[in-house]
């Protein structure tokens, strides 16, 4: 049951594939049969397979979903000629292959073969008066090689002297034996120096580890330096999981808030658990990881007060997979909550929500207003988390906080882009103005962007 796929939109637009009966996995990861490098395509996005005499397409848990003719797939769907499959920004047009169409062969079928070696027919040259064996052919004598004349050597020098390689070759041929020995020693020394430079360049991770010290395992209110996971640039490689510990110490009622950054993670790939109790999944990567900070409230019922607690990030796809993933900037913030009756806690949360909405409406009137709206929504959220029974306001607060957080992340990305543009054009005044603008929009370290600006200032010694 052959079929073909034509990429009508995407980085590989115009490419057409003729395929056979086997299952076709589609995604951004190298383990797929059809690899789509476009942004917006998940590492494992969709698959096409045969079942009951029909070809079906199915989404396999991608972040953006898979559409068939503009309709989001809820389960496997049969394919027909002319169907349009959308995977993020990529569009594939499906059609059944004709009987004489070409199919893609399996890897074993297209394995290269060594060319057959033809046996050389050796011939012999008869000596005068000697008899050749029956069936032997006479070998023609090869012409004697003669040394090139002076004119030929001059023409050769003119032909090769036009390039740097030719000039070096002529210079080498002009050296005597002692000169060639000296030149060879100098070339060997240069190669050794280059090899040492390459070794130094390709060991940044070890140098970073030495600078950061031993691998950290204890979480505090200060963000950890370095990153954990698997992939390029990761400081400490942990392909399958990373275990942290922290202490939940508070004299009064409090909420523990985990704050971190994550990148290279797809949907339902990395789980989070506290003291063996599942806390859900790390949200899939949506880009802008340097500005986006994730927050997770650790429920008091799952924590051991005044004792050591265990936090685990577990990549459920590794092993047997080898999926890259990365977490960094981890810290646990212990936020005290007033010792009030539930009714008063709810009233306090409502008051914070009212302030947040007022600041949100006036976000254009002052650079700090959006940050203040986010801060008040966040306080209301933490206060409601301390309640045993969450009211209806909880859902509204979470939704509003998510919207304001996304707006803040975009504002942070815009300001940091202006900062980097000033650095690129070596405009010291623009760099200072961009840095001050970041601090006006994000006045405290409660938001990641403030800390990011300080890191950039220290990096460029502003």
pLDDT 10s digits, 257-292: 898 989 889 888 999 999 988 999 998 875 544 557
Residue pair 36/12 in contact (Cβ under 8 Å)? The answer is yes
Q: Is omega for the bond preceding 319 within 30 degrees of 0, making it cis?
A: yes
Q: State the alpha helices, DSSP H only, in 284-392.
A: 342-361, 369-385
For residue 265, give every residue at least 6 positions away whose Cβ sits within 8 Å of its Cβ, in sequence order, or none: 282, 283, 284, 285, 325, 326
What is the dihedral angle through the alpha carbons of 163, 168, 173, 174, rounded to the nearest 10 degrees? 100
Helices and strands of the chain, counted as H and E runs: 9, 20
Place of tokens 């769907």: 77
Indicate the SS3 state at residue 18: strand
Does 349 have pLDDT greater than 50? yes
Distance CA(30)–CA(44), nearest Å, equals 10
Residue pair 449/415 in contact (Cβ under 8 Å)? The answer is yes
The closest of 227, 239, 309 to 273, measured between CA atoms, is: 309
Chosen CATH of 217-336 out of 2.60.460, 3.30.530, 3.40.50, 2.60.120: 2.60.120
Position 159 confidence tier, pLDDT thresholds 50, 70, 90: low
Residues in the chain: 462
The rounded percent of the chain whose pLDDT value lies above 90 is: 24
Residue pair 265/58 in contact (Cβ under 8 Å)? The answer is no
Bridge partners of 274?
277, 311
Q: Using a CB cutoff of 8 Å and minimum separation of 24, what contacts does 337-342 make? A: 337/252, 337/253, 337/254, 337/255, 337/382, 337/383, 337/386, 338/253, 339/252, 339/253, 342/387, 342/388, 342/389
Distance CA(256)–CA(189), nearest Å, equals 59
Q: Using a CB cutoff of 8 Å and minimum separation of 24, what contacts does 382-385 make? A: 382/255, 382/257, 382/297, 382/335, 382/337, 383/337, 383/345, 383/348, 383/349, 383/352, 384/345, 384/346, 384/349, 385/255, 385/297, 385/299
Distance CA(83)–CA(62), nearest Å, equals 20
Does 139 have pLDDT greater than 50? no
The rounded percent of the chain whose pLDDT value lies above 70 is: 74
Summarised one tens digit per residue, pLDDT across range 119-135 is: 333 334 444 444 444 44
Neighbours of 160 (CB within 10 A): 13
Summarised one tens digit per residue, pLDDT across range 38-60 is: 877 888 899 999 888 889 999 98
- CA 32 to each of CA 37, 96, 182, 231, 441: distance values in angstroms, whole numbers, following the listed order: 11, 21, 54, 18, 43
Chosen CATH of 3-106 out of 2.60.200.20, 3.40.50.740, 2.40.10.10, 1.20.1740.10: 2.60.200.20
E-only strand ranges, 131-174: none
Q: Are strands 46-51 and 270-274 parallel, antiparallel or unpaired?
A: unpaired
Summarised one tens digit per residue, pLDDT across range 201-248 is: 444 444 445 566 789 999 998 889 889 999 988 999 998 889 999 999
Distance CA(256)–CA(220), nearest Å, equals 11
Does 26 have pLDDT greater than 90? yes
What's the pTM? 0.50
Distance CA(196)–CA(193), nearest Å, equals 5
How confident is the model at residue 311, as a pLDDT? 94
């Amino acid at each position: 049951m052959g079929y073909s796929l034509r990429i009508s939109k995407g980085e590989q637009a115009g490419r057409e594939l003729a395929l056979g009966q086997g299952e076709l996995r589609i995604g951004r990861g190298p383990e797929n049969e059809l690899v789509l490098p476009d942004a917006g395509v998940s590492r494992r996005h969709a698959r096409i397979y045969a079942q009951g005499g029909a070809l079906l397409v199915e989404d396999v848990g991608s972040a953006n979903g898979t559409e068939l003719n503009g309709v989001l797939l809820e389960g496997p769907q049969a394919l027909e000629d002319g169907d349009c499959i959308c995977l993020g920004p990529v569009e594939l047009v499906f059609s059944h292959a004709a009987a004489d169409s070409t199919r893609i062969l399996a890897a074993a079928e297209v394995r290269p073969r060594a060319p057959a070696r033809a046996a050389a027919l050796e011939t012999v040259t008869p000596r005068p008066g000697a008899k050749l064996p029956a069936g032997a052919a006479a070998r023609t004598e090869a012409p004697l090689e003669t040394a090139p004349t002076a004119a030929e050597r001059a023409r050769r020098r003119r032909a090769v002297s036009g390039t740097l390689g030719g000039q070096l070759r002529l210079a080498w041929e002009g050296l005597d034996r002692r000169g060639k020995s000296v030149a060879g020693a100098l070339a060997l020394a240069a190669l050794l120096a280059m090899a040492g430079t390459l070794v130094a360049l390709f060991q940044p991770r070890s140098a970073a580890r030495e600078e950061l010290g031993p691998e950290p395992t204890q979480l505090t209110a200060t963000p950890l330096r370095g990153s954990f996971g698997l992939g390029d640039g990761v400081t400490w490689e942990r392909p399958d999981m990373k275990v942290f510990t922290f202490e939940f110490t508070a004299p009064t009622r409090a909420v523990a808030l985990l704050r971190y950054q994550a990148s290279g993670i797809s949907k339902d790939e990395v789980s989070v658990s506290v003291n063996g109790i599942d806390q859900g999944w790390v949200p899939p990567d949506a880009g802008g990881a340097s500005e986006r900070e994730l927050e997770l409230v650790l429920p008091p019922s799952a924590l051991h007060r005044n004792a050591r607690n265990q936090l685990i990030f577990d990549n459920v796809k590794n092993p047997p997979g080898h999926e890259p993933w990365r977490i960094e900037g981890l810290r646990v913030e212990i936020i005290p909550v007033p010792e009030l009756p539930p009714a008063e806690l709810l009233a306090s949360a409502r008051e914070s929500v009212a302030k947040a909405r007022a600041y949100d409406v006036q976000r254009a009137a002052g650079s700090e207003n959006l940050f203040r709206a986010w801060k008040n929504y966040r306080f209301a959220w933490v206060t409601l988390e301390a309640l045993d029974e969450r009211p209806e306001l909880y859902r509204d607060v979470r939704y509003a906080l998510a919207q304001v957080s996304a707006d803040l992340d975009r504002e942070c990305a815009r300001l940091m882009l202006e900062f980097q543009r000033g650095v690129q054009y070596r405009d010291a005044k623009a760099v200072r103005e961009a840095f001050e603008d970041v601090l006006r929009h994000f006045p405290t370290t409660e938001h990641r962007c403030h800390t990011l600006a300080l890191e950039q200032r220290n990096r460029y010694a502003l």
